[in-house]
Amino acid sequence: MRRILTRMLGTGLVIMFSAGLTLAAPLNNDTITKITQKLLPGSLTFQAPADVVLPDITVSTDQQTVSGTATAWKVDDARGHKPSQAPGWSLTMTSTDLSDGDPTEPSTIPVTGLTITPTNLVANSGNVTGVSLGGSYTFASTTDQATIATASTGAGRGQFQGDINFSWIIPANSDAATYQATWTFTLQ
């Protein structure tokens, strides 16, 4: 039978000795624990404002102006750049003419009567410092690009939203029809 000797030291530590018994090293000799979390880069995304239906107007022998607001466009920059390395971004738009889509005898209202004004910039997350809205803009053609918002280098991390106020001049004696235009946004 094995003999075990136990002895108390002044510190309260118990040491056990046994004939033929080997003491194993502690399982964890470290005094720290490391936690590792890898964050992968996200993306730069855009959500267009909701469709807008303007109130009906009656054809007139005078020029008329209709107004509306396209609400809640959103830019989400979750690319994960460090502030000093954030490349920024730019949001622009183009517009088609208003058209009734009639394939035989189309009626259009030119985009040259469209003026937009970006408004109500809000940071849902992030900081608006370095993010700005474009100014009021009247289109010269359907290929013309209006700036909605920009984030300068080092800015624009987070989610931002805003609205677009607009007015469209309806020429006198325009054809009675239901017209539609398409706004195309580019985020880069």
Q: Write a three-state SS string for 4-36.
A: EEEEECCCCCEEEEECCCCCCCCCCCCCCCCCC
CATH class of 44-187: mainly beta
Q: Note the pLDDT of residue 27.
A: 61
Residue 24 has pLDDT above 60, yes or no: no
- Report d(CA 167, CA 159) in Å as an integer: 27
φ, ψ for residue 55 (rounded to 5)? -65, 150
- Percent of the chain at pLDDT exceeding 90: 84
* Domain definitions of the chain by residue range: 44-187
- Confidence (pTM): 0.81
pLDDT digits (tens, 9 = 90+) for 98-119: 999 999 999 999 999 999 999 9
- pLDDT-based confidence at 20, cuts 50/70/90? low
CA distances from 71 to 74, 161, 178 (A): 9, 9, 22
